[in-house]
Amino acid sequence: MANGAETETLPPKGFLMRVERIGNRLPDPVFLFFWLIAILLGLSVVASQAEWSVLHPTEIDPATGEARVIAATSLLSAENIRRLWVEMPATFTHFHPLGYVLVVMLGAGVAERAGLFGTAMRAGVRRAPAFLLTPIVTFVGMMGNLAADAAYVVLIPLAGIIFHAAGRHPVAGIAAAFAGVSGGFSANLLPGQLDALLFGITEASVEATFGDFTANIAGNWYFIMAMMVLFLPVIWYVTDRIIEPRMGRWDPSKAGSAAAGEQQDRPLTDKERKGLRHAGLAMLGVCALWLFFLIGPGTPLYDMEAPPEARMSPFYQSLVAGFFLLFLLGGWAYGKAAGTIANHRDLVKLMSDSMGDMAYYLVLAFAAAHFVAMFGWSNLGLITAVEGADLLRASGLPAWALLVMIVLFSALLNLFVGSASAKWALLAPVMVPMLMLLGISPEMSTAAYRVGDSATNIITPLMVYFPLILIFCQRWQKDFGLGSLAATMLPYSVGLMLAGLAMVGFWAVLDVPLGPGAGVFIEPAGGGAAVAR
């Protein structure tokens, strides 16, 4: 504790206690994948011996003119053992999320370390009118997801200080910021590193079953913008009408020391303001460059020779590089003007440091890549998808009901496995192909998962930043415990879940585009009947 005072931490009770106990018994996500690989090995042997097979939904056997038979293959066969050891480097390096995330983070890491993200968040909230504090803090929190960890360590404690300065309860400010940053984890006006991460896993899952597929990281762009528009008033209402009234009038005598966050509330310096202006100009320049590439001479990002529905594909595929340059040049421009980057060597060091922060992700990606690849080698992914699709098709459930089930299951799993990438790497190899066979696009499957993944982030003690948020609250209210934080965030979780479910149902029923070139439905593979819409 920053104030050195004794702090009473209340033990979690009831359901939360069970969640924490069960979750703490789970292995680290890296070893979770290794255990799953071991289980997969055994299942593949059993399935192979049982001669489990299905007809491929899209491929025809040229010898017979009928659908090709796909049989389960033992991962302990000579061919698969050889493939595991010989192709291990390629299995790891060809894992699509790896390249996507590392490229984006090369730029985002510079922007974060140069101070652009932190300064922009401070500038966005510190002079907000008291009656607009909640929506502004929430909006900056959701946009702050582009800044990854910076939103947690800068904005959330700063929100408590600003609420206190406005005569409002500082813990309510922390709760609103936490709900925006973590409960609105996928909501944003722009795609970013999370989109690159999730769609990389989606792409790998489709390719493992159906072959070549290129993900569009803007495939949820409209959806995540709508999440922001819908989630913001939900968080605003819960904060101002439920949470803050419940806390009562703020009594400053209850406060501990918030000194650790006071430095973040200092006025912007002239150099920081200059840095923000330079960063804005640099980022506008990148946007103008991409627009020129799209409509300028030669149109390198618009393929005139492709079918009309595919002409924008080069633009969508270039967005990973676009966000890399956007963050890199914006961060560099800010750093040069603000004095946090002196020369090109400082820039290279910031890029190197950002890669250092990705060390754990690299280990996780190694394990996840092999799980996804081996699931494909065994043919169990395709077999499970076909059998599951047939079962769901026979159930007669409409698409919106299936997607609601995905949201709820993802939200439940999120209570025990906090990593968004780990959960999606577990679910996507079966879920995405199965729903494709029912005519539901990979982009819609990803969107439904994102809703469930966000809503319960803020109530599970296993969320990696949950203890940090608790410390932020205890700086203001010394007797604020784990159960207090979970109870405070529960109304947000319920509100965001209901709003997210309504969004998913609305999108599925009306077939609203999810992003540029991305719809809710596709033609079912193999010409099978799709679920009712």
pLDDT tens-digit readout, 268-287: 899 999 999 999 999 999 99
User: What is the Cα gyration radius of the chain?
Assistant: 24
Higher pLDDT, 167 or 346: 346
**What is the span of the domain harbouring residue 48?**
14-247+268-527
Nearest alpha carbon to residue 252 among 164, 175, 160? 164
- Kindly state the average pLDDT of the residues 517-533: 65
- Kindly state the average pLDDT of the residues 341-345: 93
Identify the pLDDT of residue 448.
95
Residue 135 lies in a domain: yes
For the ranges 28-42, 140-154, 204-218, the maximum mean pLDDT occurs at 28-42
- Kindly state the average pLDDT of the residues 152-173: 84
pLDDT tens-digit readout, 346-382: 999 999 998 887 888 888 889 888 988 898 899 887 7
Higher pLDDT, 118 or 77: 77
Residue 317 lies in a domain: yes
Three-state SS string over 244-293 comes to: HHHHCCCCHHHCCCCHHHHHHHCCCCHHHHHHHHHHHHHHHHHHHHHHHH
Residue 513 lies in a domain: yes
Residue 456 lies in a domain: yes
Identify the pLDDT of residue 5.
37
Q: How far apart are CA 362 and CA 30, in angstroms?
A: 10
pLDDT tens-digit readout, 211-230: 778 888 889 999 999 999 99
Q: How far apart are CA 347 and CA 332, in angstroms?
A: 7
In this predicted structure, the answer to whether residue 19 has a pLDDT above a threshold of 70 is no
Residue 3 lies in a domain: no
Write down the mean pLDDT value for the chain. Answer: 83
Higher pLDDT, 270 or 124: 270
Residue 165 lies in a domain: yes
Amino acid present at 298: G
Pairing of strands 67-71, 53-60: antiparallel
In this predicted structure, the answer to whether residue 241 has a pLDDT above a threshold of 90 is yes
**308 Cβ contact partners less than 8 Å away, ≥ 6 residues apart:** none
Domain count for the chain, please give it. Answer: 1
pLDDT tens-digit readout, 379-389: 887 788 788 87
* DSSP state letter for 77: S
* DSSP state letter for 440: B
Residue 259 lies in a domain: no
CB 146 within 8 Å of CB 193:
yes
Higher pLDDT, 18 or 210: 210
pTM: 0.75
Identify the pLDDT of residue 152.
81
Q: How far apart are CA 71 and CA 50, in angstroms?
A: 10
In this predicted structure, the answer to whether residue 51 has a pLDDT above a threshold of 50 is yes
Residue 243 lies in a domain: yes
Q: Which of the four pLDDT bands, split at 50, 70 and 90, describes residue 11?
A: very low
Q: Which of the four pLDDT bands, split at 50, 70 and 90, describes residue 10?
A: very low
Range in 6-10, 20-24, 149-153, 464-468 with the lowest mean pLDDT: 6-10
Q: Which of the four pLDDT bands, split at 50, 70 and 90, describes residue 313?
A: confident
